[in-house]
Structure 1
Amino acid sequence: MAKKKEVTVEERLRALYDLQLIDSRVDEIRNVRGELPLEVRDLEDEVEGLKTRLQKLDDSLVDLDEQIKSKKNLIEEAKALIKKYSEQQKNVRNNREYNSLTKETEFQELEIQLAEKHIKEFNAQIEQKKEVIDETKSRLKERETHLKHKKGELNAILSETEKEEQALLKKSEEYKTSIEERLVNAYSRIRKNVKNGLAVVPIERGASGGSFFTIPPQVQAEIASRKKIITDEHSGRILVDEALANEQKEKMEKLFAKL
């Protein structure tokens, strides 16, 4: 039985940096989209909110119309009673009955005045609400136009990048399976905790890429020897030498061009 070939430290470093390049490419694609998905979601919520507000305003108009009808009916009923009392006053037998009917008539006249006052107030509320409805409709139209524009922008970006992003995510998972789990977990942990998601960085002009802390010459020599995995003491990032990084960048650029 053939002995399984042992993966060297250099091969692990190359695989990790390849994975970093793939994930960084995904990050770039998502950065191009930027805040657009959030903007679209916020606009959709705003449009729904405005539609709900319009519905409530329309419902309140219906309610006010019903109240006006109710008050008009009350006025008609009061007028009918006044007419009735007026007829009854012609046939009263004494002053007490006459005075009683007079009081009833006065009460109905007050009911009419109060109902007319309420109708006037309801009509004023209707006019005010109609103004708010017009303003809300105008705002809704403007927001719907803006939403359509932003959705168009987002869909255009998605159509350009979605296929590449999905292919890259698939590649990322493939590359992870070729790296031992311990290293993948360390890579993922570092990536979450550092700026720009850079967990594996090359040495550039004697400093750690991404953090710019100078690396001592002895440590630089160790990194260039590719005999062990070395992390930056300041940021915790995994370090690779510039030559290895350039070789892997060239290789991955060819891969990206095919996606």
Structure 2
Amino acid sequence: MANKKELSVEDKLRALYALQLVDSKIDEIRNVRGELPLEVEDLEDEVAGLTTRLDKLKSDLETIDVQIKEKKNAIDDHKANIKKYLEQQKNVRNNREFNSLTKEVEYQELEIQLAEKHIKEMKASIEHKKEVLAQSKEKLDAKQQHLKHKKSELSDIMSETEKEENFLLEKSSEYQSQIEERLLSAYNRIRNSVRNGLAVVSIERGASAGSFFTIPPQTQMEIAGRKKIITDEHSGRILIDNVLADEVKEEMEQLFSKI
């Protein structure tokens, strides 16, 4: 920590601007990647959801098939009972026994009708679920193809940029280690609060880069003097003179050319 505090203001500004150029380069790489990682993640979630839905539909169809078989077996049992009761009616001793068996036959016939109704409903349910299954499978196939394409796209970009990004992240850490914590914290706070991530900017045509607010000549002289850290009163960004900016840019361009 002591070494950080021994840096002159000019050295601090150099380190800050070098860090800014490296971080901006990392931002560029990540912007190329854009929303792809999130798109891949969303597609993976959709594919997982559709796969679960397909498994549920298949399971439902199997369950309904079992239920239909059970109903058909029950119908066979009811028919066997009817046959048995009709045979028993031939040997009844009185009307009471005959009527009792007739009621049993009627009950079995009602059970058959009810089972046949359920079978019809279940068959209709099977047809509907098969349609949904086909649509879901078609949708899943399309999503899987889209996911495969996006993963390939992301993989290509990652393979192209990973080495460069890792090199730059290492350099970013190196420059951060040269800057005292209070100043680094201010840099990160400013960087996170502005849309383009620029926390350190140079003076261009009498205004801070990207701003239309003119900086008073006295302040410009102080910035060029490099004796203290000065921020733009409008944007809060740390300001450096364009001569220093050009020097650091030239150094960083040589560094970037090594990637």
Q: TM-score, normalised by structure 1?
A: 0.96
Instruction: Name the SS for the 2:203 alignment partner.
Output: strand
Aligned length: 256
**What's 2:206 paired with?**
206
Return the alpha-carbon distance in structure 1 between the equivalents of residues 49 and 190 of structure 2: 41
* CA deviation after TM superposition for structure 1 residue 189, in Å: 1.8
Aligned to 2:70: 70
Per the alignment, residue 97 of structure 1 pairs with 97
Q: 1:5 to 1:23 in 2, by over 3 A?
A: closer
Q: 1:195 is paired with a residue of what secondary structure?
A: coil
CA distance in 2, matches of 1:103, 1:8: 108
Match of 2:257, SS state, is: helix
Residue type at the aligned position of 2:178:
S
In structure 2, what residue type is equivalent to 1:181?
A: E
**8 Å CA contact 1:198, 1:210 repeated in 2:** no
Residue by residue over 1:68-102, the C-alpha shift from the partner in whole angstroms, topping out at 9 and shown as x without a partner, is: 01110110010000000000000001111101100
Give the alignment of 1:93-242 within 5 angstroms: 93-242=93-242
Unaligned residue ranges in structure 2 (runs of 5+) = none
Query: Matched residue of 1:258: which SS?
Result: coil
Q: Distance in 1 between matches of 2:13 and 2:95?
A: 114
Letter in 1 for 2:166: Q
For 1:89 and 1:154, the matched residues in 2 are separated by 80
Which residue of the partner structure matches residue 249 of structure 2? 249
Q: 1:5 to 1:57 in 2, by over 3 A?
A: closer
Q: Deviations over 1:48-85 (max 9, x none)?
A: 10100000000000110111011101100100000000
Do the aligned partners of 2:5 and 2:180 also contact (CA within 8 Å) in 1? no
Amino acid at match of 1:151: K
Q: 1:5 to 1:81 in 2, by over 3 A?
A: closer
Cα distance in 2 between the residues matched to 1:195 and 1:15: 22
> Hey, what's the Cα distance between the residues in 1 that align with 2:205 and 2:77?
96
Q: Counterparts of 1:5 and 1:55 in 2: how far apart (Å)?
A: 63
Q: Distance in 1 between matches of 2:233 and 2:5?
A: 32
Structure 1, 244-253 or 41-50: larger mean CA deviation:
244-253
Aligned-residue offset at 1:209: 1.8
Which shows bigger deviation, 146-155 or 188-197? 188-197
Distance in 2 separating the partners of 1:227 and 1:127: 81
Deviations 1:149-172 (A, max 9, x none): 000110000001011101111111
Q: TM-score, normalised by structure 2?
A: 0.96
User: Residue 47 of structure 1 contacts residue 144 of structure 1 at CA under 8 Å; is this kept in 2?
Assistant: yes
Q: Deviations over 1:32-57 (max 9, x none)?
A: 10000000000000001010000000
Structure 1 residues 72 and 6, CA gap change in structure 2 (3 angstroms) = closer
1:212, 1:14 → 2: CA distance?
Answer: 24
Deviations 1:204-247 (A, max 9, x none): 22212234322112211211121211001112110011121122
Partner residue, 1:80: 80
1:5, distance to aligned residue in structure 2 (A): 11
Which one is further off, 190-199 or 101-110? 190-199
Which whole-Å CA distance do the structure 1 matches of 2:247 and 2:212 have between them? 22
Aligned residue for 1:198, secondary structure, equals coil
Question: Which shows bigger deviation, 190-199 or 50-59?
Answer: 190-199
Quote the Cα distance in structure 2 between the aligned partners of 1:137 and 1:68: 25
SS of 1:235's equivalent? coil
Q: 1:12 maps to which residue?
A: 12
Structure 1 pair 226–100 and aligned structure 2 pair: CA distance change class (3 A): same
